[in-house]
Structure 1
Amino acid sequence: MQNIPQAPLPGWVPLETCRYLQHTEAGRPIRQLARKAGCHPSTILRQVRRVETLRDDPLIDEVLTYLAGRYQAAALKPGPAAGKQAAPRGLSAGFEQEAASVLTLLSRGGAVLAAAEGMEMAVVVREGAEADGQKVAVSRPLAGALALTGWIACSRQGRISRYSITTAGRAALNRIIADQENRARARLEGGFAEAQVPFAAHEAPGGGGYGRKPRYGSSETPLEMLARLADKDGNPFLSPGMVTAGKRLREDFELAQISGHLRQEKLYFTQASRAMRSSSQEAGAAARERMTDALQKLGAGLSDIALRCCCHLEGLETAERNLGWPARSGKVVLRIALQHLAEYYGEGREQEAELIG
C-alpha cells in the first residue's frame, strides 16, 4: 500500500485530515509523515487519533469516506500525473462563497444546522424566541466539510443532530468577508483601474440621465463603497447626511487647491493674464477656511482618516496600513468622523453655488 500515489484533495481539507488519510488509506508510516512535516512522530500519531475520534460524527464520517474514495481511485488508476496533482493549501473560491453564506446564517441568534439520519439535505433554522419559521437547505457534503474544518460543532447529537457555529467559524467568516472586500477594493484601486471606467456618466435606460451627475467621474470613491454597506440590522452603514458631508469636505479641498493654483498663476503671469475675478478668490479662501476649521474640529485621528479617504480618495486598507491602525478599524473611525462633519456642515445648502459640480 505504500506505493499508492497521493490523491489530490480539495484545498479546504485540514492538514491533520490529509495526514490521517495518507496514513490510513495510502499506508504511509507515521515516521515518514513526521519527517515530511518536520515534527515528532508522536505529534502525527495524536493528529491521526484525533481525526479518527471525529468519525463518531455522521457528517464527518461521510466526508472522510468520500475523501478516502479518492485514494482508492488513485490506486486503481495509477499514473505519473497522479502524484503531481497537489491541491493548494487554501480555500477555493467556490467553497469560500458557499461556506460564507451558511456561516452568515448560523451567526444569527438561535440559528442551528439540523441534520437528520437518512436525509440528503440539512437545514438551517432558528430556535427559541427568535424563531422566524424560515428554513434554508444545505447539502450534507457542505455541512460535513464545515464540521471537518471545525467551523461548526455538534451541540446535540441524536436522530436529528444540531450544529452551531464555533469561535473558529466566526473567525473564518470574518476572514473570508475581509478577503472578499480586499479583493474588490484592490480591483478598484490597483493598477490602471481608473482607465477601465469611462469619463462620461452612464445614462439610465430610456435616454434619461440620473438626477445628478457624478462630480469626479464614474469610478466609485472609498466613501461611496462604504455607503453601500449595511449594519447588522440592515440599516445603511452611513446616513445620507454623512455621505453628503464627506463630499462637501472633498469639494472644499478641491476649491482650495484650485484657488491656490490660480493665485500662483496670477503672480507668475501678472502682465500677460487677465485680472482674476474676486469671487473666485473669495470662494477659494472660504473653502480653505471651512476645510481647515472642519479638520481642526475633528482633531487628530479623525482628521487623518477623513483627509485620506474623503479628499485624497485613499482606500481604507491603504489608509489603515499607512496610519498603523488594525485591520478593518478604519471604517468605524471614518464613520465617527463623518458624523462630526455632518454636524459641522449642517443641513443647509446655502453655499451650493460654490461647489464644483
Structure 2
Amino acid sequence: MEFGAKGLPDWVPGSVRLYLEHTEMGLSMRRLAQRSGCHASTVMRQIRKLENRRDDRLVDEALKRLCGQYASAVRAGFPQRETQKECQMTVRKTTACTLPNEARLTAEALRILPRLCETTAVLAVAAEMEKAVVVREDDSGNSTRTAVVDRGIAEAMALKDWIDCTDPGRISRYHITAEGRAALTRLMAQAETRAQAGFAEAPAGFAMAPGDREVFDPASVRSSTRRNRYNAAESPMMLLARRKDREGNPFLSADLVAAGERLREDFELSRMEALPDRDGTGQGPETARERVANALRDLGPGLGDVALRCCCYLEGLETAEKRMGWSARSGKIVLRIALQRLKMHYDSLGDTAAMIG
C-alpha cells in the first residue's frame, strides 16, 4: 500500500503533502500526478515552488518539523525506510516548539492576522527566538509591540502563504499577503456562523443595560456574536493617535495607546479557547476576562463604556457618541481621559500588567 501524509495537521496544504511524499518517500512526480488526477507538470511546479521557498526561514523550519511528524508515521508502516533516519536527524536540529493543530491555528489566526492588517504592522522573527512579535511603527518612527506569536504558529502561517518575508536577515520581517487577508475574511465569517449556530439561545456576552450602556459579562464573553465595526488597517484608537493637538503633538501619546492595546489584547484573548503562556506557567481565558472586568470596573460608567466600545469592539467614535448620547466630537476627549485612567490602572499593577511575552 502507499503511505499518505498521515500524522500531519489538517491545515497542511496539499502541495506540501505532495512535496513530502516526493522528497521523503521517493514517490515519482508522475505517480503523484496519477494519484492526484492532474498532470505531472503541475506536481513538478508545486514541488519546485516549495523547494525555492526554503530560503524563507519560517517555511524551511516548518517543512523540517513536518518531516519529523511524517517520519513517525513512516516508521509505523515502513520501518525499513532509510529516509526515517534522515527525518529524525533533521527534526532534532529544530527548536522545541511544535506546529499547531487546526483548531489552534484558526484561533491564533483570528488574533494575529487582524494585527498584521494594521498600517505599518510587520511580524518580526529573530533566528534565535522561539517567539515572534507583531510590531507597528507610528509617524515618529517609534515601534509598538501589539502581539506575541508562538514560533510554530508563525511557521504555519508562512507555509500557508498567509505571510511573506519582505526583509530577510537576523531579524526577518513578514507582511500579511493577499492570501492572508482572504483567509482572515473567511475565518471571521466561519467563526460568526459557528457562534450564531452554537449560541442562538444563549444570552449576549456584552448585553445592553438600561441607559444603553455596554456591560462586560466575563462569564459569557465567548457567546458574544457582535461584529467589530472597523477597518482592520486602521482601528478607531489608531486613527485618533495619528491626529495632532493644537501644539502639534500626537493627540494620544504612546503610553496611552499602549494602555488601550493592553485592554484590547486581554479582550481578544478572553474569547479564545486556549492562550499562549505569559511566563511559562500557563493561563486560561478566564484570567484574561477577569483582567478586562477589573479594568473596566476601575474606569467606572462612561469611561469604561467608551473604552470597551472603542478599544475592544473597535467601534468608531461617531457611532459611540450617538449610542452614548454625547455631543459631536466629545468622544475623543472622553476616550483620552479613559485611556489616562486605564494607564493609571495598569501602572498600579506593575509587571503583571505587561502584554503577553
TM-score of the superposed pair, with normalisation by structure 1 = 0.50
Asked whether 1:26 is paired with 2:25, we answer yes
The answer to whether structure 1 residue 174 and structure 2 residue 185 are counterparts is yes
1:161 aligns with 2:160: no
Cα distance, 1:161 vs. partner?
0.7
CA distance in 1 between partners of 2:23 and 2:49 (Å): 13
2:162 is equivalent to residue 151 of structure 1: yes
1:101 equivalenced with 2:111 (yes/no): yes
CA root-mean-square deviation: 3.3
How far the C-alpha of 1:109 sits from its partner, in A, is 0.7
Shift in Å, 1:50: 0.6
Q: Which runs of 5+ in 1 are unaligned?
A: 80-90, 198-203, 205-209, 213-223, 236-338, 343-357
Alignment of 1:1-357 (within 5 A): 6-78=5-77, 92-129=102-139, 131=142, 133-189=144-200, 193=201, 211=210, 229-232=228-231, 233-234=235-236
Q: Distance in 1 between matches of 2:62 and 2:167?
A: 20
CA distance, structure 1, for counterparts of residue 4 and residue 151 of structure 2: 28
**Letter in structure 2 aligned against 1:16:** S
Tell me the amino acid that sits aligned with residue 12 of structure 2: V
Amino acid at match of 2:72: A
SS at match of 1:99: helix
Aligned to 2:286: none
CA gap 1:126/1:36 in 2 versus in 1, 3 angstroms: same
The structure number with the bigger radius of gyration is 1
Native 8 Å contact 1:125 1:134 kept in 2 = yes
C-alpha distance in 1, partners of 2:70/2:46? 19
| Partner SS for 1:102 | helix
Report how far residue 225 of structure 1 moved.
5.6
Paired residues of 1:54 and 1:60 also in contact (CA < 8 A)? yes
1-structure distance, mates of 2:118, 2:28:
44
Distance (Å, rounded) in 2 between the aligned partners of 1:211 and 1:40 = 64
Contact 1:60/1:148, CA 8 A, preserved across alignment: yes
Checking the alignment, whether the CA contact within 8 Å between 1:6 and 1:26 is kept in structure 2 is no
User: What is the rounded CA distance, in whole Å, between the counterparts of 2:113 and 2:28 in structure 1?
Assistant: 36
> SS of the counterpart of 1:231?
coil
Deviates more, 1:131-140 or 1:111-120: 131-140
Q: Give the C-alpha shift of residue 3 in structure 1.
A: 6.1
Q: Secondary structure at the match of 1:113?
A: strand
Cα distance 1:8–1:128, how it changes in 2: closer, same or farther (>3 A)?
Answer: same
Task: Report if the CA contact (8 A) 1:111-1:126 is conserved.
Answer: yes
Change (3 A) 1:75 1:124: same
Aligned to 1:255: none
Tell me how far 1:116 sits from its aligned partner. Answer: 1.3
Offset at residue 132 of structure 1 (A): 5.2
For residues 27 and 234 of structure 1, the distance between their equivalents in structure 2, rounded to whole angstroms, comes to 53
Contact residue 30 and residue 44 of structure 1 kept, 8 A: yes
- 8 A contact 1:22–1:28 mirrored in 2: yes
Residues 111, 5 of structure 1: alpha-carbon distance in 2 compared, 3 angstrom cutoff: closer
What is the rounded CA distance, in whole Å, between the counterparts of 1:183 and 1:71 in structure 2?
32
* In structure 2, distance between residues paired with 1:152 and 1:145: 9
CA–CA distance in structure 1, aligned partners of residues 62 and 163 of structure 2? 14
Deviation at 1:72, TM superposition (A): 1.8
> CA 1:6/1:125 → structure 2, altered by over 3 Å: closer, same or farther?
closer
* AA partner of residue 144 (structure 1): E
Partner SS state of residue 134, structure 2: strand
Partner of 2:340: none
Cα distance in 1 for residues equivalent to 2:210 and 2:45? 65
What displacement does 1:124 show?
0.8
Task: Render the CA deviation track for 1:95-131: whole Å, top value 9, x for unaligned.
Answer: 1111121111111111100111222211110135274
Equivalent-residue separation in structure 2 for 1:71 and 1:153 (angstroms): 25
Task: Report the CA distance between 1:134 and its aligned residue.
Answer: 2.7
Question: What's the offset of the Cα at 1:231?
Answer: 2.8
The CA distance in 2 between the partners of 1:211 and 1:99, in whole Å, is 36
Q: Which amino acid aligns with 1:166?
A: T
Q: Distance in 1 between matches of 2:70 and 2:228?
A: 45
Using the alignment, how far apart are the partners of 2:199 and 2:108 within structure 1? 24
CA contact (8 A) 1:156 1:162 kept: yes
Return 5+ residue gaps in structure 2 as ranges.
79-100, 212-223, 238-318, 323-357
- 1-side partners of 2:179 and 2:4: how far apart? 32
The one-letter code matched in structure 2 to 1:149 is K
Residue 230 of structure 1, CA deviation: 3.8
Worse-superposed segment, 12-21 or 131-140: 131-140
Q: Describe the shift of the 1:5–1:97 C-alpha distance in structure 2 as closer, same or farther (beyond 3 A).
A: closer
TM, length-normalised to structure 2: 0.50
Q: Residue type of the partner of 2:135?
A: V
